Structure 1
Amino acid sequence: MELIRGLLILVCFALALLLQCSSNVEGRYHHHKKQKDKSSPVSPSPVSHPAPAHEKPVPSSPSNPKDSIFDVRKFGAVGDGSADDTAAFRAAWKAACAVESGVVLAPSDYSFKITSTIFSGPCKPGLVFQLDGVLMPPDGPDTWPKADSHSQWLVFYRLDDMTFTGQGTIEGNGQKWWDLPCKPHRGPNGSTAKGSCDSPALIRFFMSSNLVVSGLKIQNSPQFHMKFDGCEGVLIEKISISSPKLSPNTDGIHLGNTKSVGIYNSMITNGDDCISIGPGCANVDIEGVTCGPSHGISIGSLGVHNSEACVSNITVRNAIIRESDNGLRIKTWQGGSGSVSGISFENIQMENVRNCINIDQYYCLSKECRNQTSAVYVTGVTYRNIKGTYDVRTTPIHFACSDTVACTDIVMADVELLPYEGQLLDDPFCWNAYGTQETLTIPPINCLHDGQPQKAVEASAYDCNS
């Protein structure tokens, strides 16, 4: 009996030890499960309005499976800043486009030169163009291939769910384009000379959706730095755009016929509009952007050549505009139609800015424009907590609205603008502008009419959906 009892105790002890070991192994496996790589490329996603302030890390190297990373050097790119690497980039793009979550990788410590190229889709979802080195076009019009487009350089076309990211630089080599005699103030005696004036936009996204652009440094574009035409679902964050203050037509980010856009936490210095919003744009959220020197943030120009233009639901908040020719501007041509509505400017800091707050419905690039009865209807524009300093050469608040189509529902709240230096002699200017002052404005804007005009605008006549 003692022997049997001893054997039973030994068996029970062995079973207990076995169960404990099994439990420990399972626990260790669960605890040390492989963590997700935080350096993986940003995944593009649609941006709704108002878009959240995303805090995604900018990747330094792709963590995708090796068979989905397509290093342009393996396709023949030299990366010495002199050789033409166009064919290698096109081949790498074609390969990455054909697989899900493919990555075109242009690595750091290399300078790649390519000619005007269209990277087209459709492609498999999750495509990433990752630039960690330097990418640039030919240096000026004399070295630009004659067969290539003079209106655009890097084009992304018919893509969905694509990311353009990295820690690299896109160098536009714009100086020789800016010096063309057809450019403003480049001709004899400060005038412009006749001749071809086409200059390429540096980056263009066309007819694409669900895009992310993040982390990149873009500089010295011959013309616009970045354009979005006919796109929907765009996230732009943590980018830097720079060109000299006097570089002509070098808009930072231009939107045309593009909807559901978020632009966040970026810095833009250039020779034209910091951000320009053209016809057909809606649901655009801009936050944490620093502009200047530049021409400020502009809606327009709209309605040129008697065209219809519709812009709605635009929000600009928590931004800084410094040393700029304009601050917050809406500009339309006489004779246009359509509407600008649902515009909110909030928490904007001005630093030595001309034309801080400006609605100009008499926009014209020559002296030949005539006053017309038709106009783009501007309504529902709010300026809230706009503070800082202005350049005294022009009045800080200027509302020049159409004779026949008044601007309505303008809201002014906590607007305080003081001279940067000197003293302004002219008061704020208003013409046919109606709205509400929720607080006393500095300087006082006594010219803004209360309520609605006697001849109220029939909003349905300016509805772009009718």
Structure 2
Amino acid sequence: MELTRGLLIIWIAVTLLSQNSSNVEGRNHFHKKQKNKRPPPKVPSPQAPVSPSPAEPPPVPSDPNNPPYPPPAPSVPSDPGSNCIFDVTAYGAVGDGSTDDTEAFREAWKAACQVESAVVLAPADYTFMITSTIFSGPCKPGLVFQVDGVLMPPNGPDCWPKSDSNKQWLVFYRLDEMTFTGSGTIEGNGEQWWELPCKPHRGPNGSTLPGPCDSPALIRFFLSNNLVVRQLKIQNSPQFHMKFDGCEGVLIEKLSISSPKLSPNTDGIHIENTKYVGIYDSVIGNGDDCISIGPGCSNVDIEGVTCGPSHGISIGSLGVHNSQACVSNITVRNAMIRDSDNGLRIKTWQGGTGSVTGISFENIEMENVRNCVIIDQYYCLTKACRNQTSAVYVTDVSYRNIKGTYDVRSPPIHFACSDTVACTNITMSEVELLPHEGELVDDPFCWNAYGTQETLTIPPIDCLQDGEAQSTAESSAYGC
């Protein structure tokens, strides 16, 4: 597994070399008899602002022409008078937390875009407020957007300009060889967005609270290649903290992402239609998925990430509205997930097509996690979803050295696969999950799931079937 990360780092060094760049105390288990019944069915791209970018984003290419070589983060010149540094205060930014500094950032970006290895600098000891903005390319290679102060959007929907997109705030569009970094904070001012009376979400003590309407994603990279995002503190996003759409070659490391446990739809890092991604050594706590991997993603390496509170690391949801979804070659290793509603999750809708294949979860520590290991092919947001014959084919999924404690309100292992398209080639090795408090209520659940136990699983997963599913040959038609 170290080879994957090593290759990514070699990639990085070669491309821009010239640019300076558990043991857990045992508890008693009590098992209920496994019920052989089918689980009940459980019932995309943000739009760009009208100006200066197109009203609708162009379609995401399925196979970008540029090779997937992410660059290193170019180092910022030490001389503050360097011609490569474009300080936004020199372009009129006030940085008092209330003045609109948008135009100053746009002008600094426009100037820096024309200079190789330039730095757009938001200096420390200032708080800059800017409105929804697209920073467009192409630009000269090696561009750095460095935030050392505080950067934030208007405070809530009432202060959001009516002419601005409410789908997104900062957008980086059609860029290559760019770095987003700094010692500062991206503050999302999301609290008032979370309380909009549109979509109910869970509140404290079993209550139901209102949720978001068209709340903006905080940071979005769109149709860009060879990106580095590192070191920033990103918090309190109205919706997703960071999204990558249609990108290729992305290195993310040493981020701190945080929002309250009950903040709705505040995924930490979301990727879709994006290839060759490394996410390393970051801490993410939020109200939704820690990391979510959408359709069209492949060759994603995640290591050294701590999640919690969150909804865990999720592949999906996939196949909504009978769509095709293809996800492959995803590795998650040496991670910690704590105080989360889910741990390692694959979720698909009934009626979809495509496949999820080549998924590896290794050396994962759990602490008080509900649904530690889950494949849910009956994902639905209402109770009105019908069972359908078609499904996203899930195969070649391995769980190795997954240890820790789980919330006993749900079984720690849950494989609910499609009636007609079985999950196949699931590998379990050194999976040991014990109750965080109390005693085990239910055994692991399986439906139409086939695989191999290389070692005894704790709790035992007797419901995982040996051999090949009868529908395997038919299921291969769902490949991508």
Q: Identify the match of residue 228 of structure 2 among 212, 222, 242.
A: 212
Instruction: Map Cα deviations across residues 94-116 of structure 1 (whole Å, 9 max, x no partner).
Output: 00001111110010011000000
Q: Identify the match of residue 136 of structure 1 among 143, 147, 152.
A: 152
Q: Which runs of 5+ in 1 are unaligned?
A: 1-39
Match of 2:103 in 1: 87
Q: Identify the match of residue 300 of structure 2 among 243, 265, 284.
A: 284
Aligned mates of 2:176, 2:80 — CA distance in 1: 19
Corresponding position: 1:253 with 2:269: yes
Match of 1:351 in 2: 367
Instruction: Map Cα deviations across residues 4-59 of structure 1 (whole Å, 9 max, x no partner).
Output: xxxxxxxxxxxxxxxxxxxxxxxxxxxxxxxxxxxx9974x9866xx9xx9x8996
Any residues of structure 2 matched to 1:65-464 within 5 Å, and which?
66-185=82-201, 197-458=213-474, 460-464=476-480
Q: Which runs of 5+ in 2 are unaligned?
A: 1-17, 22-65
Query: Is the contact between residue 74 and residue 144 of structure 2 (CA under 8 Å) also seen in structure 1?
Result: no
SS class of match (1:67): coil
SS class of match (1:135): strand
Aligned mates of 2:263, 2:210 — CA distance in 1: 17
Letter in 2 for 1:175: E
Residues 394 and 460 (structure 1 numbering): CA distance in 2 closer, same or farther, change over 3 Å?
closer
Aligned mates of 2:409, 2:79 — CA distance in 1: 54
Aligned mates of 1:240, 1:169 — CA distance in 2: 9
SS class of match (2:200): coil
Please report how far the alpha carbon of residue 163 of structure 1 lies from its aligned counterpart in structure 2 after TM superposition.
0.2
Aligned mates of 2:478, 2:358 — CA distance in 1: 14
Please report how far the alpha carbon of residue 310 of structure 1 lies from its aligned counterpart in structure 2 after TM superposition.
0.2
Letter in 2 for 1:435: G
Query: Is the contact between residue 406 and residue 457 of structure 1 (CA under 8 Å) also seen in structure 2?
Result: no
Please report how far the alpha carbon of residue 424 of structure 1 lies from its aligned counterpart in structure 2 after TM superposition.
1.2
Aligned mates of 1:99, 1:60 — CA distance in 2: 14
Query: Is the contact between residue 77 and residue 85 of structure 2 (CA under 8 Å) also seen in structure 1?
Result: no
Aligned mates of 1:215, 1:42 — CA distance in 2: 17
Letter in 2 for 1:222: P
Query: Is the contact between residue 249 and residue 272 of structure 1 (CA under 8 Å) also seen in structure 2?
Result: yes
Letter in 2 for 1:268: I
Letter in 2 for 1:423: E
Letter in 2 for 1:348: I
Query: Size of the alignment, in residue pairs?
Result: 417
Please report how far the alpha carbon of residue 454 of structure 1 lies from its aligned counterpart in structure 2 after TM superposition.
2.6
Match of 1:16 in 2: none
Aligned mates of 1:290, 1:166 — CA distance in 2: 21
Letter in 1 for 2:348: T
Please report how far the alpha carbon of residue 191 of structure 1 lies from its aligned counterpart in structure 2 after TM superposition.
5.6
Aligned mates of 1:64, 1:206 — CA distance in 2: 31
Aligned mates of 1:366, 1:249 — CA distance in 2: 16
Aligned mates of 1:334, 1:370 — CA distance in 2: 8
SS class of match (2:83): helix
Match of 1:4 in 2: none
Aligned mates of 2:335, 2:473 — CA distance in 1: 32
SS class of match (2:472): coil
Please report how far the alpha carbon of residue 201 of structure 1 lies from its aligned counterpart in structure 2 after TM superposition.
0.2
Query: Is the contact between residue 47 and residue 261 of structure 1 (CA under 8 Å) also seen in structure 2?
Result: no
Query: Is the contact between residue 58 and residue 215 of structure 1 (CA under 8 Å) also seen in structure 2?
Result: no
Query: Is the contact between residue 181 and residue 232 of structure 2 (CA under 8 Å) also seen in structure 1?
Result: yes
Match of 2:29 in 1: none
Query: Is the contact between residue 342 and residue 381 of structure 1 (CA under 8 Å) also seen in structure 2?
Result: yes
Please report how far the alpha carbon of residue 457 of structure 1 lies from its aligned counterpart in structure 2 after TM superposition.
3.1
Instruction: Map Cα deviations across residues 426-449 of structure 1 (whole Å, 9 max, x no partner).
Output: 100000000000000000000000
Instruction: Map Cα deviations across residues 114-166 of structure 1 (whole Å, 9 max, x no partner).
Output: 00000000000000001100000000000000000000000000000000011
Query: Is the contact between residue 405 and residue 457 of structure 1 (CA under 8 Å) also seen in structure 2?
Result: no
SS class of match (2:473): coil
- The CA RMSD over aligned residues, in Å, is 2.2
Query: Is the contact between residue 183 and residue 197 of structure 1 (CA under 8 Å) also seen in structure 2?
Result: yes
Query: Is the contact between residue 201 and residue 264 of structure 2 (CA under 8 Å) also seen in structure 1?
Result: no
With normalisation by structure 2, the TM-score equals 0.83
Please report how far the alpha carbon of residue 184 of structure 1 lies from its aligned counterpart in structure 2 after TM superposition.
2.1
Residues 193 and 441 (structure 1 numbering): CA distance in 2 closer, same or farther, change over 3 Å?
closer
SS class of match (1:91): helix
Structure possessing the higher radius of gyration over alpha carbons: 1
Please report how far the alpha carbon of residue 180 of structure 1 lies from its aligned counterpart in structure 2 after TM superposition.
1.0
SS class of match (1:66): coil
SS class of match (1:95): helix
SS class of match (2:104): helix
Aligned mates of 2:79, 2:248 — CA distance in 1: 27
Residues 65 and 380 (structure 1 numbering): CA distance in 2 closer, same or farther, change over 3 Å?
farther
Query: Is the contact between residue 46 and residue 211 of structure 1 (CA under 8 Å) also seen in structure 2?
Result: no
Residues 153 and 57 (structure 1 numbering): CA distance in 2 closer, same or farther, change over 3 Å?
closer
Please report how far the alpha carbon of residue 425 of structure 1 lies from its aligned counterpart in structure 2 after TM superposition.
1.9
Residues 411 and 185 (structure 1 numbering): CA distance in 2 closer, same or farther, change over 3 Å?
closer
